[in-house]
Structure 1
Amino acid sequence: MKDAGTDTSLDMVVTEVFEIAPKSTTISYNKEVQTSEDWASGTNTKSASGIEDYDEFDYSVNMAQRKQLEDKIRTELEELYKKENEEVLKNNRTLSNDEPGLNANGTPDVSRPTILSDKEASQISARQDFENFWSQSWKVINRAAEEDTNYNILRNYAESQNSDAQQQSRNSLTEITHLYSKDSVGRAVTYIDWSPKFPELIAAAYTEKSSDPHATKGLIQIFNLHAPNQPEYTLTAQSDILVVKFSPFDSNLIFGAAYNGQVLAWDLRSKGSRPLLSSQLSGKAHTHPVYSLEIIGTQNAYTLITASTDGTVCTWTPDMLAKPQEKITLQTNSSSLRNDEAAPTSLAIPTRDQAQFLIGTEEGAIYQCYRFGQAGSRPGIDHRKSYRGHTGPVTSVDLHPSSGPVDFGNYLLSSGNDWSIKIWLVSLISSHGSNLSSTASSAPANRGEIIRPILDIKRDDVVYDISWNPNHPSIFAAVDGTGHVEVWNLLTDTEVPVVRAKPSNIEKNIVGSNYLKRPLNRVSWEKTSEARRLAVGGLNGSITILELDTTLIGSSPKPEHWAQLKRLFEQLES
């Protein structure tokens, strides 16, 4: 306790807790400051507070005027919409309370929709005509929803540093579109075929999807160029499809060959995706993968020819695939002690004499074969000659289409795993034994004669597929293991392609499709009179449609092109 007389005064201490900043000066910008003399000279005027003064245009006033204008437009639109609604309600007919769905005068009111019950909706949706209508309507809607593909919105400008030659190639070969779907992701393209009747339809065959064991193994998708992301038809099988072909005589029929040796047929008019006809898995037909299928004949009588790596070639009637009409075993004279069976990997049939054909084999040789016996010999390989030049399996063979004033039908194009493209002059012998070749150098060879190519083109990687252009005599296309597509013009150069390009990775946004550097293994020209477009596909499951520039291929080949190519071939033969 302090005494009463003690001084009790207190000392007051003031402590600064926080400091309130002075109100900042509003900064406004003068849109003319960039051209002012002070700014150009590197100096600017400051206010007394030390803050630059650009005060001539206040954006707060501008934003207020903009808001007033927006409110005015919104009010006018609401009044207009309200007025239109009142007119519609005034003009509409009123419904009778006693008879719902009818007007006051008793006539049906078509302006009001009829609401179906769940049972009625189920009954209608189960009808076949409704399902067909919905399927066709959805395809039409999907085509109409596609945007213009002339501009690539996924273009990567960081990849624009190309050489002049690469830039010229891209200009000469234009990408039209990409064909893919969610079902083709994770699969490899095994074959491509254009419809001979509808130029916008393309059929593609695929391998199984290894990442999904529950997915269908065999898959065929028929795309429409006007709706590239949604196939028109999807066909399935129990094994990988290696070949798919449109029937040239019936646009509704699709034929295919499978890895398990089956030959299959689908009808686009039938319901479901399963094949309508299929061959049996037995020793009477193929027992190994079927890599080649050709359709020959006429509208009233046509035949399927298939070649398998089991060393056999079979002939089939298209409406009866239970067993082949004929089965030919291909045996070679590679050993003096025994006959070895050839393993065909590719097949080519001349258009002028379909009783004979050529096969490329796993051993690298190309053989000429006959469907029927010749001079007492059995059907099969002609042992008098063989075409040898490839040191690895032959991946593709293609005879010249020869649709012009000069017949080049005896010139064969081939590709192989030995990184090469070769051109051969083959000796086509008619059923009467007469030589159909145009030069003396292609006369019937002696027994066991080995024939070499007239042109050998070395490449930088494996060439998986080649194809003559059906319109221009000197142009062909090839695809290789680096993912490039090449277009060759023999009249321009026999050593360097006129175009070499790599399709863009448009499918990179699809989940599970990281295959930018995967090879291309299929190429196919369109079946039209111009034949300027070609389709290429590879291990990424995507098909790219490309178009050649008119400066490369022209509207149609001229007569002098055929004469020039004839002189070139004669020089190569000599």
Structure 2
Amino acid sequence: MPLKKIQGMTNSGTVKGSALKAVKGKGGSGKTASDLAVADELDSWTKSKQLLKPEDQLELSDQELKEEIERVLTAQNPQTPSNIVEFSFKEGCFIPALPTTQTVLLLDIEGNVLHKDSEEAKFQLGGKFEIRDADEEEKQQSAELNAEILEGDDDVERENTEKEHDEEEKPIAKDEKEKQIEEEEGEGEEEAEDEAAVPIKKTPEVSAYFMKVGSKKLTNQFNFCERGALTYNNPFRNLETQTIPPPRANFSGQVTQWIIYDAYQQDFEAQLREKEKERKDKIVPTQKTEVKRKGLQTTSDTTKRTLLAIKILERMINQNTYDEIAQDYRYWEDPSDEYRDEEGTLLPLWKFVYEKTKKNNVTALGWNPSYYDLFAVAFGCFDFMKPQPEGAVCLFTLKNPSFPDYICTTETGVMCVDIHPVHPYLVCTGKYDGNVAVYDVHSPEKMPQYESNSVANKHCGVVWQVRWGIDMPDGEANFFSVSADGKVYNWVLMQHELSQTLIISLFLSCDPIPGPSGALIPLTGCGTTIAFHPTEQLIFVVGTEEGNIYKCSTAYASIYLATYEAHHMPVYKVDYNKFYPDIFISCSADWTVKIWEDKRSDPLFVFDLGCAVGDVEWAPYSSTVFAAVTSDGKVHVFDLNVNKYRPICVQAVVNKKRNKPTRIAFNHKLPVIIVGDERGCITALKLSPNLRKKVKPPKKGPVHTEKELELMKLEKLLALVREPQALTPLPDPPAPVDS
């Protein structure tokens, strides 16, 4: 009985629809009087309207009207560009970008519609009952629902009986009765399906739902139903508060790739230090470890003695291998100099090459002041447009030309090197990334003892030259560096770090330019070389890429003592005369070598060598001899006492088509010079007797030392080119007075 009542309640709307259909069929045509009235009004309205056509409307025939015109729509967007490129910093060029999608999303709405062929719809349309036990809340809800159903059963049954009486009184045709019977059968199936979701009354102790997910009659072709609910909107409330604005400050800075690199490097080192601390905390010293350390010390001592013996054997083998060159190096003198008109030659001796630095340029050379056969070589790269290879610092000796005695590789190129004049085991270097480092050759570890490796404690450009200074009053060693950032720094070797002090900034004499914020910014020059006065250690000269040479003092950090407009292109080297401290020489990329005297703005001598001059240096044995290397692969040796206009020796050292020399250095004790080139090779050359003539003392007169004789020779030469001093005329005597 309850099930029948529920069926009558759920099909009430369907019964009404069937009664309406029966009324429609009463008139034979299926139209009511109201429908006929609406149709008449519609006809009257359409008759009053007249179809208006424009005069220029195109008239088509019936065949043309029946013709079908196809229009194909594709998913391709014609406005999408197909040739987009983007710049790749990894490859250094433009590469085509990935094609963009052709889909344009216009509307995206999440719905609850399921297609009848989908898996979830098939599962819902399956034909099995599921019994689900309900918890306490579901039991209470089911009890309330059963009570409501029982209350509404009587009303629903009463309505159904009234509708059935009404339908029996109405005259219905046989054919329409058969249709009505078919519709009632279909509605009975819907009622049976709706019964599956109706909870069944059970005892309060046990409550369950009988749920049938069986096949249902589809209400439409998509098989979905929409359910709506009206809920209350949450009230909106505006809250406002007023606070004191935080203080603001404008900050600006310049970031370069070196600063970013150094920041990452500093963070990486901090991580390594933390890992080392963790390892040290975990390691517990035991007796076994002490025994191992003693064993390692003994093995290391044995290794050192073995390496020393192997080094001696290697030198003996090289001496036998290069015996002829060693004999020429010591004893051979070119006899043809006697037949030449004051000209000399260079005898090639050894070539020093390290296999791993063949791709590097020789950027600096320097002889050891205590060991005359030992010299240092810096390997870097002058071509900054190419990827910078790893650099190295090597120590070679004339006793072993086959392999360097000391090797230390670096992550970036080493651009300059200098050996301490008092402590020959200390070597300072300047690098391509702006850092400076100090190496201890005695230490077995190939690591710098001191290094600047932070954002503030370094140069912002390439370090072009470093020079050791005199020790501090406390005995601390220090050196100076000049860089492309236009600054000269003094570095002091403290106990555990390098102390940095700014000596001077190389500001240009031109007017300042406005910066991004509107403030005027003075322009700075790019320092390339530095040289200290031989006697006054506070005085030094600096060459720049703009071609100027500035005379400065370590006691004044803001002014120049003198400015020389020396060259039109970058100055590559400045060097003081070893005998006359007021004379210095400079070379540049403008093909010229100039000799200057302190307190004179004009050069004393100017030599045009026909191509860029990479390096120049005064000879240590004569006050009038100097040598220079040019980019055409030649070495030029001048002796002003012999010829003031032309070199007395011009000799090709390397092939100018494949290579060019970069640096030159005189040995302070032997008649030997070394020349470095772009292929990482160092060539040793011996000077012939005509290139190293010394002044003969006069036969009569007081006895002079060698240095005094060199000074007299240079003074005599300078007297020929100096401008004569203006002579002041003597005053006229007073006229005699007549008595």
TM range (shorter): 0.5 to 0.7
Task: Say if 1:391 and 1:188 are closer, same or farther in 2 by CA, change over 3 A.
Answer: same
Whether 1:182 and 2:355 are equivalent positions in the alignment is yes
Report what 1:353 is aligned to: 536
Task: Say if 1:235 and 1:139 are closer, same or farther in 2 by CA, change over 3 A.
Answer: same
Task: Say if 1:561 and 1:195 are closer, same or farther in 2 by CA, change over 3 A.
Answer: closer
**Alignment partner for residue 231 of structure 1, among 383, 404, 409?**
404
2:478 is aligned with what amino acid?
T
Deviation at residue 552 of structure 1 after TM alignment: 2.7
Report what 1:293 is aligned to: 466
Report what 1:543 is aligned to: 682
**Alignment partner for residue 628 of structure 2, among 457, 472, 478?**
478
**Alignment partner for residue 487 of structure 1, among 613, 631, 637?**
637
Report what 2:199 is aligned to: none
CA distance in 2, matches of 1:311, 1:545: 34
Please say if residues 416 and 464 of structure 2, whose CA atoms lie closer than 8 Å, have aligned partners that are also in contact.
yes
Task: Kindly tell me the number of residue pairs found equivalent between the two proteins.
Answer: 398
Larger RCO, structures 1/2 (Cα 8 Å, 6+ apart): 1
Task: Say if 1:243 and 1:283 are closer, same or farther in 2 by CA, change over 3 A.
Answer: same
Whether 1:365 and 2:548 are equivalent positions in the alignment is yes
Task: Say if 1:171 and 1:125 are closer, same or farther in 2 by CA, change over 3 A.
Answer: farther
Please say if residues 261 and 281 of structure 1, whose CA atoms lie closer than 8 Å, have aligned partners that are also in contact.
no
Deviation at residue 571 of structure 1 after TM alignment: 2.2
Report what 1:523 is aligned to: 664
Whether 1:135 and 2:274 are equivalent positions in the alignment is no
Report what 2:619 is aligned to: 469
Task: List, as ranges, runs of 4+ consecutive aligned residues in structure 1 with deviation greater than 3 Å.
Answer: 123-126, 147-153, 163-171, 213-216, 298-302, 319-323, 554-562
**Alignment partner for residue 315 of structure 1, among 480, 483, 490?**
490
Please say if residues 478 and 491 of structure 2, whose CA atoms lie closer than 8 Å, have aligned partners that are also in contact.
yes
Report what 1:400 is aligned to: 577
Q: Which has the higher helix share?
A: 2
1:502 is aligned with what amino acid?
A
Describe how 1:8-19 pairs up with structure 2 within 5 A: none
CA distance in 1, matches of 2:342, 2:417: 30
Deviation at residue 567 of structure 1 after TM alignment: 2.3
Task: Say if 1:497 and 1:149 are closer, same or farther in 2 by CA, change over 3 A.
Answer: farther
Whether 1:425 and 2:603 are equivalent positions in the alignment is no
Report what 2:721 is aligned to: 572
Please say if residues 512 and 523 of structure 2, whose CA atoms lie closer than 8 Å, have aligned partners that are also in contact.
no
2:304 is aligned with what amino acid?
N
Deviation at residue 534 of structure 1 after TM alignment: 1.1
Whether 1:325 and 2:501 are equivalent positions in the alignment is yes
Please say if residues 491 and 498 of structure 2, whose CA atoms lie closer than 8 Å, have aligned partners that are also in contact.
no
Secondary structure of the 1:340 match is coil
CA distance in 2, matches of 1:256, 1:308: 12
Deviation at residue 215 of structure 1 after TM alignment: 11
Secondary structure of the 1:332 match is coil
Task: Say if 1:410 and 1:525 are closer, same or farther in 2 by CA, change over 3 A.
Answer: same
- TM-score of the superposition, structure 1-length normalised? 0.64
Task: Say if 1:125 and 1:170 are closer, same or farther in 2 by CA, change over 3 A.
Answer: farther
Aligned identity (percent) is 23
- TM-score of the superposition, structure 2-length normalised? 0.50
Report what 1:58 is aligned to: none
CA distance in 2, matches of 1:214, 1:393: 23
**Alignment partner for residue 306 of structure 1, among 452, 466, 481?**
481
**Alignment partner for residue 446 of structure 2, among 266, 269, 273?**
273
Q: Deviations over 1:432-467 (max 9, x none)?
A: xxxxxxxxxx4xxxxxxxx22121111111000000
2:672 is aligned with what amino acid?
R
Secondary structure of the 2:504 match is strand
Report what 1:413 is aligned to: 585
Task: Report the RMSD for the aligned CA atoms in angstroms.
Answer: 3.2
Q: Deviations over 1:10-65 (max 9, x none)?
A: xxxxxxxxxxxxxxxxxxxxxxxxxxxxxxxxxxxxxxxxxxxxxxxxxxxxxxxx
Task: Say if 1:166 and 1:391 are closer, same or farther in 2 by CA, change over 3 A.
Answer: farther
Structure of larger gyration radius: 2
Deviation at residue 267 of structure 1 after TM alignment: 1.1
Report what 1:511 is aligned to: none
Please say if residues 365 and 390 of structure 1, whose CA atoms lie closer than 8 Å, have aligned partners that are also in contact.
yes
Describe how 1:43-62 pairs up with structure 2 within 5 A: none
Please say if residues 589 and 612 of structure 2, whose CA atoms lie closer than 8 Å, have aligned partners that are also in contact.
yes
CA distance in 2, matches of 1:236, 1:322: 21
Q: Deviations over 1:183-230 (max 9, x none)?
A: 2212110001111111111110101699xx999712011111111011
**Alignment partner for residue 334 of structure 1, among 480, 504, 510?**
510
Could you tell which deviates more after superposition, 478-487 or 130-139? 130-139
Whether 1:220 and 2:403 are equivalent positions in the alignment is no
Please say if residues 573 and 588 of structure 2, whose CA atoms lie closer than 8 Å, have aligned partners that are also in contact.
yes
Task: Say if 1:144 and 1:124 are closer, same or farther in 2 by CA, change over 3 A.
Answer: farther
CA distance in 1, matches of 2:559, 2:525: 9
